[in-house]
Structure 1
Amino acid sequence: MQENYLAKWLNGDLTDAELAEFENSDAYASYKRIADTTDSMQAPEFDADGAYQALKNRRELRDNKVITLHPFRKFLRVAAVAAVLILGSYLYLNLSDETISTSFAENKEITLPDLSEVVLNADSEISYSESKWDKKRNVDLKGEAFFRVAKGKRFTVATDAGNVAVLGTQFNVENRKGFFEVTCFEGLVSVAFNNTVTQLRAGSSFIAIHGEIVESGAAHTSEPSWMHDESSFKSVPLKYVLDEFERQHDIAVKTQDIDLGQLFTGSFSNSDTGLALKSISVPSQIKFKFEGDKVLFYGENTP
């Protein structure tokens, strides 16, 4: 058999005589099996686009990245953050106010930067600027407080209802919704209310209810009664008496068929709840009963 018979056979170029001679050779059977197996094999599909993208990705990962550093920009960012922190700290220390408050059935004593003393009654709050105290001795008050003011510059108590200005004295200020009272126990107190200024000397009071100034009697004590666990009233509408009971005893109050506008003169204990209830109900000719964690005040003729 000629050596080029295999190539010619694969290309289909053998003559009949040459094909007969090739088929009778010893190697033909092996070549025939190889050729049959090769014909049954299929080449996999080739994704040209996918192969190109994969090659591109490998090149990008292989390439060295060049990062441009800007040390001065980084310094500016750090400096900006530091400036914000410094400014925030300055504003907090110089503009923020000190605030002290009390909850129901709680009193609290505070000493101000000039050693003036303040005693907060229940459900009250004061705020002041400690950093500016030397230039402006000013206290904002919500609720009620007794002040013993140290000698020095003008001292002002600001409330929603009016302002109180003093110079080394002792006085009490109560500022509740619809009720404003100032009592001077020592020295001289100036009360600014509705564009009117009233001078109070020791032993006198100023009272305004629902924006109207009402007459008040003289104060015959050296301190307000609530400093000694007792709340006292003189011709005050019953509504404010019951509100004060609620604050001092931390008991919710409900009313039914009673005149909340009737005037009450008297006092009740801030430490003995049972005695306080009797001290309010007997002179007011009303009744009371507990309903869970509340107390109901009701008229004597209520079914």
Structure 2
Amino acid sequence: MNKRIDEGFLQRWLRNELTEVELKEFQKTSDYAVYEKIMKVSADFETPDFDFDKVYANLNDRIKTKKSKVFKLNWKYIAAASIALLVGLLFFVDTSVKYETSYGEKMAVLLPDSSQVYLNSKASISFNEKNWDSNRKVVLKGEAFFKVKKGKKFKVVTDLGNVSVLGTQFDVQTSKDYVEVKCFEGKVSVVSGNEKNILTGGKASRSFRNGVTENWGISNQEPLWKNGESSFQSIALKYVIYSIENQYGISIKADKINLEQKFTGGYTHSDLKVALKTVFEPMKIDVIFTGENTVTLLKR
């Protein structure tokens, strides 16, 4: 440590009492970056003001009143203790990062191990970037496609289940009622409730909150939504409607139709009217625009 950092130096720095020359010299030292980082972190915490002069005066008054042994305050130790406290706060700082998309948005994210994640619209992922090596966990909301580097392993956590991976490519779609996983390459382990399902390339599964699990095969090499099209395999219409709402940022009123009827097919992300016609025309459902961003569905 620089010799100028004596027992009163840090105290004067914390109070912004250093001269311009002293501050410039301090900034050249290797210690400055450490203290500066600590101060930036501590600025995020609301702590009571510490009045050194007032505390010192109060202690002296109490010492004189009791006529006890007089202790000399050593500002060097007080400053050191303050820095130690601030360093300790670093351990309680949330180092997780979060990425999320809005209506119609897509996003590519690079994980700390160089694995790639592609977020569909209205989706989010969060993970601990600082402690990635010891906590290789990604929390997912919505839908995302993962391209995991060979030999890299981590876990995708959703509300209804976890997906453990090792060097693979897969897509995970979540909702309040189910988690759907499509494995395009390699192998993934899907745990939902008491059920464990191993998927290899070309396989897909959907696990519902009520314990029902559906399995089917896939032929494409990556999710179609990456290229601007959502696809569905024998799923209740209500989930397709929810997907369209998230993709286009609209509200769909559908209380006059059967939301449990199954739909297999897809829709484009580039044209709302075409998307609505593609989904609802074959099901003989009329689409009525009742506002700029509001649609009502009626059974013919």
TM-score, normalising length: structure 1: 0.72
Structure 2 residue aligned with 1:187: 186
User: Is the partner of 2:231 in helix, strand or coil?
Assistant: strand
- The 1-side partners of 2:283 and 2:178 are apart by 20
User: Is the partner of 1:104 in helix, strand or coil?
Assistant: coil
The answer to whether residue 235 in structure 2 is matched with residue 243 in structure 1 is no
1:180-235 Cα shifts (integer Å, max 9, x gaps): 10010001111111122111011111102343334332111000111111011111
Q: Which moved more, 1:223-232 or 1:132-141?
A: 132-141
Structure 2 residue aligned with 1:83: 84
- The 2-side partners of 1:238 and 1:297 are apart by 14
Aligned-pair identity in percent equals: 39
Q: Which moved more, 1:136-145 or 1:287-296?
A: 287-296
Q: Contact 1:97 / 1:128 at 8 angstroms: preserved in 2?
A: yes
CA RMSD between the two structures = 2.0
Alignment of 1:216-295 (within 5 A): 216-295=215-294
User: Is the partner of 1:215 in helix, strand or coil?
Assistant: strand
How many residues get paired? 233
User: Is the partner of 1:200 in helix, strand or coil?
Assistant: strand
Relative to structure 1, is the Cα distance of residues 262 and 297 closer, same or farther in structure 2, using a 3 angstrom cutoff? farther
Structure 1 residue 244: deviation in Å?
A: 0.2
The answer to whether residue 217 in structure 2 is matched with residue 213 in structure 1 is no
AA matched with 1:136: N
- The 2-side partners of 1:106 and 1:149 are apart by 22
- The 2-side partners of 1:87 and 1:132 are apart by 17
1:250-292 Cα shifts (integer Å, max 9, x gaps): 1122113100000011110112111001011112211111122
- The 1-side partners of 2:90 and 2:192 are apart by 37
User: Is the partner of 2:244 in helix, strand or coil?
Assistant: helix
Structure 1 residue aligned with 2:144: 145
Structure 1 residue 135: deviation in Å?
A: 2.5
Structure 2 residue aligned with 1:134: 133
Relative to structure 1, is the Cα distance of residues 230 and 153 closer, same or farther in structure 2, using a 3 angstrom cutoff? closer
Q: Contact 2:204 / 2:217 at 8 angstroms: preserved in 1?
A: yes
User: Is the partner of 1:87 in helix, strand or coil?
Assistant: helix
User: Is the partner of 2:242 in helix, strand or coil?
Assistant: helix
1:234-257 Cα shifts (integer Å, max 9, x gaps): 111000000000011111221131
Structure 2 residue aligned with 1:109: 108
AA matched with 2:88: L
- The 2-side partners of 1:118 and 1:283 are apart by 34
Alignment of 1:51-62 (within 5 A): none
- The 2-side partners of 1:103 and 1:298 are apart by 24
User: Is the partner of 1:243 in helix, strand or coil?
Assistant: helix
User: Is the partner of 1:288 in helix, strand or coil?
Assistant: strand
- The 1-side partners of 2:190 and 2:182 are apart by 10
Q: Contact 1:288 / 1:295 at 8 angstroms: preserved in 2?
A: no
AA matched with 2:180: E
User: Is the partner of 2:109 in helix, strand or coil?
Assistant: strand
Gaps of 5+ in 1: 1-66
User: Is the partner of 1:290 in helix, strand or coil?
Assistant: strand
Structure 1 residue 91: deviation in Å?
A: 3.0
- The 1-side partners of 2:154 and 2:77 are apart by 46
User: Is the partner of 1:180 in helix, strand or coil?
Assistant: strand
| Runs of 4 or more above 4 Å deviation | 67-71, 73-80
Structure 1 residue 151: deviation in Å?
A: 1.8
Q: Contact 1:147 / 1:172 at 8 angstroms: preserved in 2?
A: yes
Relative to structure 1, is the Cα distance of residues 77 and 264 closer, same or farther in structure 2, using a 3 angstrom cutoff? same
AA matched with 1:207: R
1:55-109 Cα shifts (integer Å, max 9, x gaps): xxxxxxxxxxxx65986176665444433322223432xx521111111111100
- The 1-side partners of 2:178 and 2:189 are apart by 18
The answer to whether residue 161 in structure 2 is matched with residue 169 in structure 1 is no
TM-score, normalising length: structure 2: 0.72
Structure 2 residue aligned with 1:199: 198
AA matched with 1:82: I
AA matched with 1:145: A
AA matched with 2:298: G
AA matched with 1:197: K
- The 2-side partners of 1:75 and 1:253 are apart by 67
